[in-house]
Amino acid sequence: MSDLQLSIHHNKQSQRFETTVDGTTAYISYVDNGDIIVYNHTIVPDAIGGRGIAGELTKHALDYARKQGKKVVPACSYVASYLQKHPEYRDLKI
């Protein structure tokens, strides 16, 4: 990622982690099933793509799961790929 500084907000009502860049919102959504979080979509509109935003959102979401003592189901292909590339998070995957 470049020097872009993201402010990531946890929108509990919508069950997603979101950030706004240049007036455009990107997010990773989830379903909280108690001890398990299912990350089901990572959305970064083309207008702000290619800046590492999806990776930062995913890292933030996985850090949240870890802090909450939850396991993760990577239903989203981006999250599944991220887990393959970042072994430090593989212990979270069910």
49 in a structural domain: yes
Number of domains composing the chain: 1
4 in a structural domain: no
1 in a structural domain: no
2 in a structural domain: no
Residues 6+ positions from 30 with CB-CB distance below 8 Å:
15, 16, 17, 37, 38, 39, 40, 61
71 in a structural domain: yes
pTM score, whole prediction: 0.93
Ordered per-residue pLDDT tens for the chain, 94 residues: 456 789 999 999 999 999 999 999 999 999 999 999 999 999 999 999 999 999 999 999 999 999 999 999 999 999 999 999 999 999 999 9
CATH classification at residue 53: 3.40.630.30
Domain that holds residue 20: 9-92
